[in-house]
Each structure stands twice: as structure tokens, then as C-alpha cells.
Structure 1
């Protein structure tokens, strides 16, 4: 498969999601280490952990939305013909796209609200809106990836990478 712009974009989103997993783990590890060995903690580590976890969730949504690697129940899909399977996949992806667009709009309101209200962290009084903005950017990426997936499902289904549960099932049953 050639490595075009959308594929590089998808890989970059997945890499960023992995980096956020590492940051959350590092924050937890350092905080536990500092508490146990030095009886101290990182200032605002709770706030950072909470906001990093939110960022991780939204970037994780972006990473799993394109690959279709999330948990699915596909009893009807498995029993369907390949043409109906594709229609189910397109419908489900369009519903997901709509839901994530609404979610992204609501999250932008949260970013704007924390910016306008000048919400700060507890210990160091760091503005929280940039953390919400990074989470929102992950949601925007999820919308873009779901749109790419929808386009490919509708007009170029063979361009979707093999290895997802859906494509493996199609190969085995179709």
C-alpha cells in the first residue's frame, strides 16, 4: 500500500495517542516514586493527571476510530452478505461521524468556557484551557479520521488496511 498523505496523517495521530499514553504513565510513575521515596509530590500532579487522561481519551478515540479496532458486536454483520456488510459499515461509520462531530462541538464550548472563565490549576495557577484545547484537537482528528474512513468505505474500500477485524472477517467469510 502506498504511503499517501492521509496514511501519514493517520500514522501521526496514532503516534500522538501513544505519546499521550506514555505521558500519563510517566506522570503516575513519577508521582508514586516521589511520594514513596521522598514523601513529596509534583505540584498539580492531580490536575495534570486528570487533564492528561482526558487528552488521552480523545486522542485514543481518534486512533481507534479509523482502524475500527474498538469492541464491536457483529452477529448481524457476520451473517450478512458482503454487500450488506459494507452498507452496515457505512451506516455505522456515518452515525459515529455524526456523534463525534456533536461531541467535538460540545468540547469546543468547554475549551472556550475554561478560557473565558480563566480556570487555573490548584497549586501553580496554570491555565487549564490549553489542556482542553489539546483534547479538542484530538477530537477534531477523530472527525477527520472517521471522515477518511467513511470516504474509503464508500468509494475505495480496498484502501482500508487489512488487519482490522472487519476486513479479516470479510476475507474469511466473503
Structure 2
């Protein structure tokens, strides 16, 4: 049995998904440390609230990136379920193009937020750390989502066999 060829697109997809997973771990670690320090040592991490808030934003945008490509997120669509395979593909292409447009506009707006926090020199409360790098990392997650949705769109149109979609109807048959 030969190994499937892993191209640059697949490496980008896997890297983005691993980064999103690492941010989940960072957020969990921040929460765990804050609770342990508060409960057992009656102290806190300086700027813990600001870090937690910004890390959660980063996690959300990288989570959008991670779920944008696979198609394994929660969906409910009676029209799609009843459609023929050819019509399902057209619905998927249309929906993915709409998603690509929406996330691209969101990415442009988020860049404006990054620029605004940089120009306004917004700082954290306790240690006066600039907040714009956190916003920039969140923005990179949104950029990654646009890249993954573009890859998904390309594959839906030209190479649907390369998609890694999770098929709920297949799982129900198992």
C-alpha cells in the first residue's frame, strides 16, 4: 500500500489545524494557572484577565480557520440532504463562496482593528503591554481561514476527491 501524496496545501491545512490546537492548550493553561494561583496562593497573574480575553479572541479566529476547511462543523440543511449528488456539489460550492466572501470581509475589518490598536497604543492594565500583537495573531487566524476556505473552494470545484469532509451520513451507516 502506498502512502497518499501530501502536497503543500495539505501541509498548510495541517499546520493551521495544529496552531489552532496549540491555542486551545494555551487558553486552557492560562485558565488553569489563574484558578490555581487564586485558589491556593491568593494571588493572580498580572494582566491575567486581559491575556485571557485576548487569547480567547485568538482561539475563536484560529478555531474558525480550523473548522473552515474540513466541513465537520454542525450543519442542518434539509435541502442539501434531499438533493442529488450533483446538486449537493453546487450547493457546497455556492455556500463556500459565500463563506469565503464573508470571512474575507471580516478579515479586512479585523485588520482595521489591529491597525487601530497599534496606532492608539492600547496597553494592558497591569503591565502596560501593547495589545496589538494579540490582535495581529487573531487576524492571522482569520487570514488562515480565508486561505483554507479558498483551498476548499478550489478543491470543491476542481478536485472534490481531495476534500477531507466528514460525512455524517457515512457515520450513521457504520
Q: TM-score, length-normalised on structure 2? A: 0.94
Map of 2:74 onto structure 1: 71
5+ residue gaps, structure 2, are none
Once the two structures are superposed, the pairs formed by residues 13-92 of structure 1 within 5 Å of their partners are 13-92=16-95
Structure 1 residues 167, 152: CA separation in 2 closer, same or farther (over 3 Å shift)? farther
5+ residue gaps, structure 1, are none
Is structure 2 residue 113 aligned with structure 1 residue 107?
no
- Decide which of 165, 168, 171 is 2:167's aligned counterpart: 165
- Give the CA deviation at 1:75: 0.9
What is the CA–CA distance in structure 1 between the aligned matches of 2:169 and 2:67, rounded to whole Å? 15
Map of 1:127 onto structure 2: 130
What is the CA–CA distance in structure 1 between the aligned matches of 2:46 and 2:140, rounded to whole Å? 26
Structure 1 residues 147, 86: CA separation in 2 closer, same or farther (over 3 Å shift)? same
What is the CA–CA distance in structure 1 between the aligned matches of 2:170 and 2:15, rounded to whole Å? 24
Task: Answer yes or no: is the 8 Å Cα contact 1:149–1:160 preserved in 2.
Answer: yes
Task: Answer yes or no: is the 8 Å Cα contact 1:68–1:166 preserved in 2.
Answer: no
- Give the CA deviation at 1:161: 1.9
What is the CA–CA distance in structure 2 between the aligned matches of 1:41 and 1:165, rounded to whole Å? 45
Output the aligned Cα RMSD. 1.3
Task: Answer yes or no: is the 8 Å Cα contact 1:62–1:142 preserved in 2.
Answer: yes
Paired residues, what number?
169
